[in-house]
Amino acid sequence: MNKKLFTFLTQLTENNNKEWFDINRKQYEALRFDFIDFVQQIINEIAKFDKSVANLDAKKCIFRINRDIRFSKNKSPYKNNFGAYINGNGKKSAHAGYYLHIQPKNSFIAGGMWQPESPILAKIRQEIDYNSKEFLKIVDSKNALQHFGGLEKTDILKTMPKGYDANLKYEEYLRLKSFVFTKAISNKDFDDASFIKNIGNAYKNIYPLNTFLNRVLDDEDAS
C-alpha cells in the first residue's frame, strides 16, 4: 500500500472541505487506485481459506470517501479513513465478513458481525445457546486470543436477554449486541514485507467465527 495515503488522510483531516479536496482530487484518485490493488491482494489471501470471496472485485468492497451528513451534527464532507468490507455476499450484506480500516495511527482489521438486526441477533443467541461448546471453542481458541484478545465486549447489554439463564457459563456472549474480533495495526506494520500475508493469517482466524454466524443467515435463506 502507498504510504502517502497516511499523509493525505492527515491533511484531509486538517482541511476537510470541498475546496481542498477538489484541489487534491488527482492525488486522492491515485491513492484510491493503489488502495483497490491493496484490497485485491488481501481478497486473494482470504480466498485461500474462504472460497466465498474468490470472485470479489475489490472496487465493490471499498467504501466511499464521502460522508452521509444528512442526519449528522458533524458536517465534514469527507471521511478521514479508507475502508473496505470483504464479504462474499457484498459489502452491504448482513452476513459476517472481513473489515479493513486505514487511518493514521488508528488502523485496524476486524471481522464478524456488527450490530445485526434484532431478528438475526435473536437467532445468533439461540445458535450460541444450542451450540455453546462449538462457539466457545472458536472465540476462546489460542489463535483468537493471541491475535484479537477475544471478542469485543464494548457493545453489550447490562442484563441478560429475556428467556436466558443468567448463570450460564457463556452468559456474557448472550448479552453481546455485536460479535466482532478486532486487531490494531500500527503505521510501521505496513513496512513489513509479509504484511499482506500477516493480515491474511489474522483473517484466517476470523473465518471460523464468520462461518458460525453466517450459518444463521444461510439456514434462514434455505427455509
CATH number at residue 156: 3.30.930
**What does the pLDDT profile of the chain (223 residues) look like in tens digits?**
778 999 999 999 999 999 999 999 999 999 999 999 999 999 999 999 999 999 999 999 999 999 988 888 889 999 999 999 999 999 999 999 999 999 999 999 999 999 999 999 999 999 999 999 999 999 999 999 999 999 999 989 999 999 998 888 899 999 999 999 999 999 889 889 999 999 999 999 999 999 999 999 876 655 4
Q: What total number of domains does the chain contain?
A: 1
CB-based contact 173:139 (threshold 8 Å): yes
Cα dist from 78 to 21, 63, 75, 204, 220, whole Å: 9, 12, 9, 32, 37
Cα dist from 77 to 44, 91, 104, 127, whole Å: 32, 22, 18, 41
Residue 104 is given by DSSP the state: T
pLDDT tens digits for 30-86? 999 999 999 999 999 999 999 999 999 999 999 999 998 888 888 999 999 999 999
- Spatial distance between the Cα atoms of 204 and 219, rounded to a whole number of angstroms: 23
The DSSP bridge partners found for residue 85 are: 99
Contacts for 60 with CB less than 8 Å, ≥ 6 apart: 90, 91
Domain that holds residue 183: 4-222
